[in-house]
Structure 1
Amino acid sequence: MDWKTFQALLSGVNKYSTAFGRIWLSVVFVFRVMVYVVAAERVWGDEQKDFDCNTKQPGCSNVCYDHFFPISHIRLWALQLIFVTCPSLLVVMHVKYREDRERKYRQKHGTDAKLYDNTGKKHGGLWWTYLLSLFAKTGIEVAFLYILHHIYNSFDLPRLVKCQVTPCPNVVDCYIGRPMEKKVFTYFMVGASAICIVLSICEILYLISKRISRCAKKMKSHREHSMSLYHSQYRDQDSNCTLPMHELNHKPEYNAKLKAELHPMSNKPSVGMRASAPNLSFA
């Protein structure tokens, strides 16, 4: 892979990342990839050649080197960088899949049709892909730090190691070349990896909190809309009134002419009522 292809991949990852993701990518590219390419390969390029043991027994030096360095630092960091950057490429692949679906949808329904508002916006499946990629990156970083710590005993590189394995005849003293320089680069790479872990955890918390806040706002707006519809369509169950609450305070105008037309006999006094009236006059 040349630098142009690698730069295109990094720019694609940076385009769909959050602020924490962009910082993480800068740390990986500047403080890990550049240091690995420029300095680390030269420091560990001659580690087996500089590993010297005070014996002439054939094969003893090679066996002791394999015993104390079962996995080379430089190769372990190369694997770590490859595995760490792979989950970020899943996000780019998901966005490309969305763009392909959008293209096919427009070919079928017209150029103005839209399947997604924004193919790079982290909603739905893309949000889950991005979140899972963060968990994968964090797990890979922690796993490689544990492997390095377990193999090299707290990332320490002593100047003198004692070896007693076959075919060495007895306890053999072996010396590591430039141990202090290698120790400095080891701690530097471990520190950069720890910073990446912290950034990934911060990004996970940021995405989850933002998703919870968005869901809370949607639920609040939905509740307010439901309450407004409930009040506007409220009905009095006792009076079987179908008028809205804001119209109950308006009384209908009294129309005497209409009442006379509907009840023509209501304005005339009843004969029965006049006859039944008591005579209250005094003689």
Structure 2
Amino acid sequence: MKYCFGVDIGGTTVKMGLFQIDGVLLEKWEIPSHTENEGAAILPDVAASIEELCEKKKIAKDQIEGVGIGVPAPVTEVGIVQNTANLGWGYKEVKKEMEELTGLKVRLGNDANVAALGEMWLGAGKGEKNIVMVTLGTGVGGGVILEGHPLVGTNGAGGEIGHICVNETETETCGCGKKGCLEQYASATGIARLAALRLEKDAKSSLLRSQEHVDAKAVFDALKAQDEIAEEIVEEFGKYLGHALANIAVVVDPAVIVIGGGVSKAGEILLDYIVKNYRANAFFANQDVQFKLAELGNDAGICGAAKLILD
């Protein structure tokens, strides 16, 4: 039997999985991400954890195809990370270092691209080769899979969907330093921001006014209770996201657009507002794109990382 490992490195924990090469997940676990000292211990800790599991399972090195890794940063084709926001790394030759630590083949990808690859392989995009995945969390992440492979780009920044400009009149600045980015309207924090602005300028009664803290979940809960202001907020969210996805589709022509991240827990009602605005703006050849909610949850990263090795 042949195996591979999928590793999803985050700022708090490293998620890890042992897979058979046919995609069966045999075991998954987590270890802490030690980000102190510029994250010097992260890769050695991962290597040690892999070695420990191999000893426990009595898996020889020649049975392992390799280790796929997703990291929260742009990654070059040769496995180099220039900088990370929450791991402490600056310039780091991750692929080279990990191969030296493990003696195994290593492939690397941006975490959002890797999650999209996981959904294509074993999740909502299964059976397709061309998908776009959007993750709606604290920010807006994205991954584009073309002909079964992640779109990486020259600087490893392919698929940074959250930083498409969707509002040229915006006066507030996005975390990236620009203004009017999709992330400012379609992320969990963006939805909360839209809610605060709407409640401030509209005197209508709303369930949201009784909330001490209005977050994205509160907005969607109110929407499900047929709250008029909540519907207006979600309509605005859908307008920005649907229009942005129509622009993406005319460039990459996906079969499926997968919506994931914490905001996607609102369920199918979320898709209604995105799809309506997408169809209103999409090029005729892209009208029949399927929209699906992500299926793999927190396992998308390790699944996609494992798939990196098998391509």
Scaled to the shorter chain, the TM-score interval is under 0.3
TM-score (norm 1): 0.25
Larger Rg: 1
Which structure: greater strand fraction? Answer: 2
TM-score (norm 2): 0.23
